[in-house]
Amino acid sequence: MNPVLGQKESDKATHPAVESFLLAGQRLIWLLKWCVIALVLVLGFALAAVHVLARTTYMPSEKVFVAQLYTDDIWWHPTDKAYAKVLLREAMAAGEVKAQYRLARDYEKEKNYTEAFPLHQDLALKGFTASQTRLGLMYMDGRGVSQNTAVAIRWLKSAAAQGDATAHYFIGWIYLGELPDMPQDLAQAMQWFQSSAYLGDGQARDVMARFYATGKGVPEDLDLAMRWAKSSLDAGYGEATKTIELIQTIRAEKGQKK
């Protein structure tokens, strides 16, 4: 048998299989393309429906969702912060607590503390934990209200009693003695930072690491400091890398192994 002829016949025999494979690939690409188009259309119709519901009904959750779309600077959605506030106030009038808190936080981001303060105060008096924390911070910094350390602590402790890690952290910060009418109390500060850290606050864990690294308020313990610093990093607090570097520097100066 002629070997060249045999090779040609073999090539011809494989052609139908290759063509079938290519055809299947083209069909798969076509199917995927139309699946993407269908998904975009479905999402578009769903988004349009939510917009209609937010504009024409008394459904507060939809109003909050659409307001978020208008304020979060999403690349595929227009921004209209003024209209977002209209939607939030409508949802707030319908009794939606999340709308009121969102509106207050939006005013804070705009540094409009005069508008933010009464919204947080109203929610705080009703026992809303996040607003109690925000109100405490506003009293602490004198934003939207006269600075008052005692009132700040009262609101922060109210939120802390409900397990708010951020409130625990800032109470610790206050006890460092950085505010008017508040002497330094490192033991109290350490207690509040520690409770915040155990509740999962990454920044509080970083503070704990620095306390143990420098021996501030506690005996120096570089191993424990490193554990706290790595725990802070695991909790998403990126600045903990600087604390790790500090601990490594202190170890090097003391001639200790890493």
Tell me the percentage of the chain whose pLDDT exceeds 70: 85
* Domain assignment of residue 254, yes or no: yes
DSSP type of residue 1: -
pLDDT of 92 reads: 95
Q: What are the angstrom distances between the C-alpha of 103 and each of 53, 99, 116, 122, 137?
A: 20, 6, 8, 13, 17
Q: What are the angstrom distances between the C-alpha of 199 and each of 56, 162, 176, 235, 240?
A: 42, 11, 20, 11, 17
Which of the residue ranges 13-27, 74-88, 126-140, 224-238 would you say has the lowest mean pLDDT?
Answer: 13-27
For residue 100, is pLDDT > 70?
Answer: yes
pLDDT of 132 reads: 98
Q: How far apart are CA 106 and CA 47, in angstroms?
A: 23
The number of domains in the chain is 1
Q: Which domain holds residue 251?
A: 200-258
* Domain assignment of residue 216, yes or no: yes
* Domain assignment of residue 234, yes or no: yes
Q: For residue 30, what pLDDT band results from cuts at 50, 70 and 90?
A: confident
In the predicted model, what is the mean pLDDT of the chain? 88
Tell me the percentage of the chain whose pLDDT exceeds 90: 65
* Domain assignment of residue 132, yes or no: no
* Domain assignment of residue 88, yes or no: no
* Domain assignment of residue 154, yes or no: no
Q: What are the angstrom distances between the C-alpha of 183 and each of 25, 122, 167?
A: 74, 30, 19
pLDDT of 2 reads: 53
